[in-house]
Amino acid sequence: QVQLQESGPGLVKPSQTLSLTCTVSGGSISSGSYYWSWIRQPAGKGLEWIGRIYTSGSTNYNPSLKSRVTISVDTSKNQFSLKLSSVTAADTAVYYCARNSYGFLYFDYWGQGTLVTVSS
């Protein structure tokens, strides 16, 4: 059974870079053909897809965040990461990592989510 777990600082100062990691257990991040995504949800609001990385390392990003987002994968640690630069209070949200299989365009496994607050 695949499990995903987000980790990272819960508090980030405005204008700084938000960095989160998603650790995958129950399977190798590089085995099979999978996309690994980041999705966020401000308190009381809806879900927003941030971007994804394929097992090969290719990426796709939400156009509205593309200039500030970098998603990378570390196969040696079975992890993938999110970096969001120049954050503001509007980036305060619960951040989820999720998986979809190649050719299957839905998210079947999700992490539990981690709250990141942007505040000085």
Partner 1 sequence: QSALTQPASVSGSPGQSITISCTGTSSDVGGYNYVSWYQQHPGKAPKLMIYDVSNRPSGVSNRFSGSKSGNTASLTISGLQAEDEADYYCSSYTSSSTYVFGTGTRVSVL
Residues in the site for partner 1, rule: CB under 8 A?
37, 39, 45-49, 52, 60-64, 96, 104-108, 110-113
Closest CB to partner 1 among residues 35, 118: 35
Closest CB to partner 1 among residues 7, 16: 7
Kindly state the smallest distance separating residue 45's Cβ from partner 1, in Å.
8
Q: Are 51 and 7 in contact (CB under 8 A)?
A: no
Q: Are 57 and 71 in contact (CB under 8 A)?
A: no
Q: Which residues contact 101 (CB under 8 A, 6 or more apart)?
A: 32, 33, 34, 35, 108
Kindly state the smallest distance separating residue 98's Cβ from partner 1, in Å.
8
Kindly state the smallest distance separating residue 109's Cβ from partner 1, in Å.
9
Kindly state the smallest distance separating residue 33's Cβ from partner 1, in Å.
15
Closest CB to partner 1 among residues 15, 64: 64
H/E element, 118? strand 114-118
Closest CB to partner 1 among residues 16, 49: 49
Q: Which residues contact 7 (CB under 8 A, 6 or more apart)?
A: 20, 21, 22, 23, 114
Show the tokens assigned to 100: 């979809």
